[in-house]
Amino acid sequence: MDIWFHPSKELDLILKKVAKTAGIDGDFQPQIRTADPRFGDFQANGVLPYAKQAKTNPRAIAEKIVEALKNSPEYDSELIEASIAGPGFINFSLKPKFLNAWLAKYKGEAELKSASSQFFNGKKMIIDYPSPNTAKQMHVGHLRPMVIGEAVKRLLKFCGANIETDNHVGDWGTNFGILIYGIKSENYKLDASNENSLEELEQMYKRGSALAKASEEAANAAREELVKLQNGDPENVALWNEINKVSVSAFDRMYERMSITIDHTLGESFYRDKVGRIYDELTETKIAEEDQGALVVFHRDHERFNKQPFIVRKSDGASNYASTDLATLLYRVENFKAEEVVYVTDGRQQDHFQQLFLTAKKWFDAKGYKLPDLRHVWFGTILGEDGKAIKTKSGEPVRLKALLDEAVARAKAVVKEKNPDIDEVEADKIAETVGVSAIKYADLSQNRTGDYMFSWDKLLAFDGNTAPYLLYAIARMHSIFRKASISPDADFASDASILETEQEIALARKLLSLPYIFELTLSELRPHFLCTYLFELAGIFSGFYNANKVIVDDKAVMARRLMLCSRTMRVLEAGLRLLGIEPLEKM
């Protein structure tokens, strides 16, 4: 038999097949679950409900299935053991020989990636993140879309998706009137290479809007600048372009620091000339209707949205977030051939996306377009230690750069405390990784739909489910190999004897559950499942390492233990990379 990459999934497929050969009809669902480790690795729970519905004896059905399994070429009693328990459960144990073979085959990131590509098999996906609005500095509110978006993208890619990022920046809106008015009245010179430009623009916007609030004249002047921009006045269009350039170069510096890569940036303004088709098609298919001068979509079949329409064109004739998103979706399908679109935003946009998806379904169905799968990956708020949305003392949102700088400074203090002799350059390098990773990991390790409380002490702790803990665990594994002068990529498998001790077996089982963890993480795109797994894996590794000496005289024992060290290290590293964190070999 083949060594199954994803044993529980493979067992499910095989049991369905052998059940058919045993004369058990089509609706038998094996229901494979992870078993209590005392009884084995997996358990099939599906026989009982099947027998109940077929009004037969479950035990007899289970016997038939197990017999057919044992006669199938996909079963090898040296590798796996199937047995019947209780009234008709089937237990499966992977024998140590199977564990060894699996570990021999899935050596490192490359092998894991190629096996994992079966999850999506080249499905064309577009992921929409971090999609900030231009003319504003990045603050702590921009952290989650960047961190979660990047992790989700890496995971999907690793698991076989043909995925591209489309950064849907908000680069078009009424705020540009005020900004242009501010720039002109202060005679401000924009300069994208100046690190502070964006901050200055933001201040200017604040002064401009204060003025517009205080004086009718200023308000009118700002409105006029907006109208001029909308009508294509060359001077205002040039200024608007400059504002976006300043924003985008500041964003790019942040993306680089956060290791985020973006394939396309098609902002809201890109769709200005594409919304006409949306109005026409929604009107012609009677999905949208005029309501007090606006064009709106009522979802009359929906409990809430039947009273809360989706406004696609405002009463002044202007397009909005909804029409832009509809045009964007069509563009992604027609130009990128998207089979799935994943949107990463704040939870407050849930209504928008639900209405967008409902509208898109009706519209695509009516026009005979192929609707891609649509997912909204939303997240909660980061709270300060007072339990309220995190703010600076003066009540401003915390700037992202300041937050990262503080993380790095705190990390540096910790690194120097652990390694008093370390040189400054090295300490800075490690601190940058540890600090930024700690922030990312603190975010990713929480279930994304919840709010979480930001705590410096927790996220930088070297114990617990944190980036420093995992980075340190990996660095220690590297040092095992360094000290023994052995490459972690040597071929341990052919010299290794069969796993034997309780800790070896426990560690191997945990490593083998990685594909299941991918399946779980991907099902709702929740990276915290992967974080929990990595944390548990590192803990099980410690248990193994404390109880089983690795560098021993018996070459075969040493090889199997080194193989476990190497595989654990490579899985932890691959896992962190999927989360957007680059592991270190030394710390």
Find the helix packing angle between 7-21 and 58-70, rounded to 10°: 100
Nearer Cβ to ligand ARG (332/510)? 332
Cβ contacts of 230 within 8 Å, gap of 6 or more: none
Shortest distance (Å) from residue 186 CB to ligand ARG: 26
With vertex at residue 138, the alpha carbon angle to CA 414 and CA 344, rounded to the nearest 5 degrees, is 100
Nearer Cβ to ligand ARG (318/413)? 318
Shortest distance (Å) from residue 321 CB to ligand ARG: 7
**Cβ atoms of 535 and 470 closer than 8 Å:** yes
Nearer Cβ to ligand ARG (341/460)? 341
Nearer Cβ to ligand ARG (328/566)? 328
CA pair distance 515, 8, nearest whole angstrom: 9
CA-derived radius of gyration, the chain: 28
Nearer Cβ to ligand ARG (321/456)? 321
Amino acid letter, residue 109: E
**Cβ atoms of 576 and 485 closer than 8 Å:** no
Shortest distance (Å) from residue 174 CB to ligand ARG: 14
With vertex at residue 183, the alpha carbon angle to CA 178 and CA 184, rounded to the nearest 5 degrees, is 100
Nearer Cβ to ligand ARG (331/369)? 331
133 φ, ψ (degrees, to nearest 5): -90, 140
Nearer Cβ to ligand ARG (132/583)? 132
Closest among 35, 78, 82, 38 to 62, alpha carbons compared: 82
Count of CB atoms situated within 10 Å of the CB of 235 = 12
Burial class (CB in 10 A: 0-12, 13-18, 19+), 73: exposed
Shortest distance (Å) from residue 128 CB to ligand ARG: 5
CA pair distance 565, 558, nearest whole angstrom: 10
Shortest distance (Å) from residue 356 CB to ligand ARG: 8
Nearer Cβ to ligand ARG (144/570)? 144
Shortest distance (Å) from residue 66 CB to ligand ARG: 51
Shortest distance (Å) from residue 327 CB to ligand ARG: 10
Nearer Cβ to ligand ARG (308/455)? 308
Cβ contacts of 271 within 8 Å, gap of 6 or more: 319, 323, 324, 327, 328, 331
Any idea of the CA torsion for 340, 344, 347, 352, to the nearest 10 degrees?
Answer: -50
Estimate the share of the chain in helix, then strand, then coil, as percent rounded to the nearest 5: 55, 10, 35
Shortest distance (Å) from residue 348 CB to ligand ARG: 9
Shortest distance (Å) from residue 132 CB to ligand ARG: 6
Shortest distance (Å) from residue 246 CB to ligand ARG: 17
Shortest distance (Å) from residue 260 CB to ligand ARG: 15
Nearer Cβ to ligand ARG (100/345)? 345
Closest among 432, 537, 429 to 477, alpha carbons compared: 537
**Cα dihedral 274, 276, 277, 279 sign:** positive
Nearer Cβ to ligand ARG (129/181)? 129
Closest among 213, 211, 227 to 177, alpha carbons compared: 227
Shortest distance (Å) from residue 131 CB to ligand ARG: 4
316 φ, ψ (degrees, to nearest 5): -85, 10
**Cβ atoms of 503 and 544 closer than 8 Å:** yes
Cis amide leading into 130 (omega within 30) = yes
Cβ contacts of 386 within 8 Å, gap of 6 or more: none
CA pair distance 383, 393, nearest whole angstrom: 14
Nearer Cβ to ligand ARG (100/269)? 269
Return residues touching ligand ARG (CB under 6 A).
128, 131-133, 168, 170, 325, 328, 343, 345
**Cα dihedral 43, 48, 49, 50 sign:** positive
Shortest distance (Å) from residue 171 CB to ligand ARG: 9
Nearer Cβ to ligand ARG (158/343)? 343
**Cβ atoms of 38 and 90 closer than 8 Å:** no
